[in-house]
Structure 1
Amino acid sequence: MRYIVIGAGAVGGTIGARLHQGGHDVLLVARGAHLAALRDDGLRLITPEGEETLRIPATGGPVPPRAGDVLILATKSQDTVAALDGWSRDLPVVLAQNGVANERTALRRFAAVQGVCVWLPAQHLEPGVVAAHGHPYSGMLHVGRYPQGVDDLTAQLVADLGKHGLVARAAPDVMRWKHGKLLGNLGNAVEALVGHPDGMAAVVERARAEARAVLDRAGIAYSTPEEEAEVRGHQVDAQPIEGVRRGGGSSWQSLARGAGSIEADHLNGEIVLLGRLHGVPTPVNEVLQREANRHAREKLPPASMPLETLNALIDERCAAGSR
């Protein structure tokens, strides 16, 4: 079996590296300066235990399929459709992404789709380098067939992913776990916009309270923070790495790189969409979606908005909605 990891950034690079270290055949898919660095110098994986440079084959796009190939998609959600273009639709695709809409998108094109709930604190801000802060394992991955259940591929994925540096669990209700992760990810936009000032947590909780009301109205099940903490335990504790300054999460990193896009439409925007479908107001998430997209479009740096400004925009939107 060959694992083709599309999007060899923080999450994809770590997963690909750990699969490679476990003895599996891996092909990384990247672009631009990152691809050039992977080809010239290999992937430099930095963890709390040390660092290793791994010579993993890398390509810039689709390659002819081989028997046993499995696609692992680890791009940002806004890049899903473009990233899957050109790949054989006979291949199984595994979605190691935030958000809950990618699986349905992939199922339009691929018959065999596996969802993954990813808990993996890592960052990629320099070509050819990925820092994975999780300890003693780099990440925990819940894997399940979409829309539900497990099968032989699930079992193989769990066995292979769990061989080196990762914890993998079969999850027949993988989308319940992914909706729980979605609730957690609603704070990504807040962190990207304002950083970590006092009072930031209150905004995050307002966004999550809105989202819980939406999911409950829609009848969508989600894992709870207590359940997640019990399963995770201390298997993936984020730890500092000497010489590596840890920035923020995936949305923070998108602004830091000046990527020009951000996942807000698939995180806060998912709650906005569900709210509109089920008649639940979502003013907090609407503002976070709008402002995160604006900051990405204008290539503003992370933490460049005062918390007072964000709160004022939210209060204004809440007031407008109540009139």
Structure 2
Amino acid sequence: MRYIIIGAGAVGGVIGGRLAEAGHEVVLVARGAHYEALRDGGLRVATPDGTRTHRLPAVRGPEPLGELRADDVLLLAVKTQDSEAALDAWGPRPVAGGGTAAERLPLVCAQNGVDSERLALRRFRNVYGMCVWLPATFVEPGSVSAGGTPLSGILHLGRYPSGTDETAARIGAGLEKTDRFEAPVVPDVMRWKYAKLLANLVNAIEAVAGPLAGEDGLTDEEGLALLRRARAEGEAVLAAARIPYAGEDEQKEARGDKIRFEPLAGSVRGGSSWQSLARGTGTIEADYLNGEIALLGRLHGVPTPVNDTLQRLANTFARERRAVGSMPVAELTRLVDEAVAFLQEV
């Protein structure tokens, strides 16, 4: 198999780098300064077991590759707001032996949120979900880092909307060949992704008000209380929608002590949304995290003022390129309280 990593940022870059270390053929897809850095200097991957530079083929899009190969795996690792553009670009590409990528190749959605799989299934016949538990950072062109050890990540994998097959098993085996990933192939991968969605509700809080865990190891209790409120809304809408998700005990059992985080020199403490703001991309994934909870709430009659507010503020910060983490958590809490009070009045 050849792995084409569409979006070689934090998650895509680390997965691509680890696959290359294990001898797999990898192509990296990136844009702008990141693409130029990959093309000119290779991909630098920093991990607790050392830093390696991988000289891998790098492209901006599918055109330089010409006809795709029948053994290609497309691993989609862009933010969900960029999924449609990527699907439009890669789906129509011809594959050796006939047909298109959308008709013949497996597409793995290695992303936060639960919407990309549905977007992909409109175009691609063979769609796979991946629940990504992988602490990784990308803020500088050409460089990514992953602070997890002894494993870099746990990547539950399965067909979308459900089931498993030989292709999923082969992809999982390829990931586990790295010795740095555990890749359980499961028939209910979306149950794991909805659990991750609940965990990712913190992303907007960290992007707007800063990480909940400081460099001193202390937790911001006010921020943690806000996260509990956002998660409670999420659990309520999933219950109303009758959407199952992996419970806390099941997740802890799956992860165990397999991923211990070791801060790396020069790495940042924030998650994916924090990193988007830090890079000044102008977009953020809040519509597909807190916004997913808001959508389900409207569909099923469950108020979601906490997630509504977090979604709105995260988008404002991204659009106006405000400094990451620049709103005091007390101010963020006040704005959430105002939204809750307004909803109660109307």
How far apart, CA to CA, are the structure 1 residues paired with 2:261 and 2:247?
Answer: 20
Runs of 4+ in 1 over 4 A off after TM superposition: none
**1:247 and 1:253 in contact (8 A); partners too:** no
Out of 213, 238, 256, which is 1:233 matched to? Answer: 256
Segment drifting more, 265-274 vs 296-305:
296-305
**2:222 and 2:330 in contact (8 A); partners too:** no
Q: Does 1:319 align with 2:338?
A: no
- Which amino acid in the other structure matches residue 54 of structure 1? H
Q: Give the Å deviation of 1:40.
A: 1.0
How far apart, CA to CA, are the structure 2 residues paired with 1:119 and 1:261?
Answer: 22
Q: Give the Å deviation of 1:308.
A: 1.7
Relative to the length of structure 2, the TM-score reads 0.91
How far apart, CA to CA, are the structure 1 residues paired with 2:153 and 2:258?
Answer: 8
How far apart, CA to CA, are the structure 1 residues paired with 2:269 and 2:283?
Answer: 18
How far apart, CA to CA, are the structure 2 residues paired with 1:29 and 1:153?
Answer: 22
Segment drifting more, 229-238 vs 102-111:
229-238
**1:268 and 1:285 in contact (8 A); partners too:** yes
Q: Give the Å deviation of 1:237.
A: 1.6
How far apart, CA to CA, are the structure 1 residues paired with 2:203 and 2:228?
Answer: 12
Hey, what does 2:330 align to over in structure 1?
A: 308
How far apart, CA to CA, are the structure 2 residues paired with 1:192 and 1:112?
Answer: 34
Out of 125, 128, 151, which is 1:137 matched to? Answer: 151
Q: Give the Å deviation of 1:245.
A: 3.2
Q: Does 1:189 align with 2:204?
A: yes
Identical counterparts, % of pairs: 58
Which stretches in structure 2 are left out of the alignment for 5+ residues? 91-100, 213-219
SS in 2 for 1:131: strand
Q: Give the Å deviation of 1:112.
A: 0.1
How far apart, CA to CA, are the structure 2 residues paired with 1:86 and 1:297?
Answer: 25
Out of 76, 79, 83, which is 1:80 matched to? Answer: 83
How far apart, CA to CA, are the structure 2 residues paired with 1:218 and 1:168?
Answer: 28
**1:148 and 1:173 in contact (8 A); partners too:** yes
- Which amino acid in the other structure matches residue 185 of structure 1? N
Relative to the length of structure 1, the TM-score reads 0.98
**2:148 and 2:262 in contact (8 A); partners too:** yes
For residues 79-115 of structure 1, what are the alpha-carbon distances to aligned partners after superposition, in whole Å with 9 as ceiling and x for unaligned?
A: 0001222213122100000000110100000000000
- Which amino acid in the other structure matches residue 153 of structure 1? T
- Which amino acid in the other structure matches residue 165 of structure 2? D
Q: Does 1:12 align with 2:12?
A: yes
Hey, what does 1:56 align to over in structure 2?
A: 56
Hey, what does 1:285 align to over in structure 2?
A: 307
How far apart, CA to CA, are the structure 2 residues paired with 1:263 and 1:237?
Answer: 26
Hey, what does 2:128 align to over in structure 1?
A: 114
How far apart, CA to CA, are the structure 2 residues paired with 1:286 and 1:17?
Answer: 37
How far apart, CA to CA, are the structure 2 residues paired with 1:236 and 1:108?
Answer: 35
SS in 2 for 1:116: strand
What is the alpha-carbon root mean square deviation over aligned residues? 0.9
- Which amino acid in the other structure matches residue 291 of structure 2? G
Aligned residues: 322
Which stretches in structure 1 are left out of the alignment for 5+ residues? none
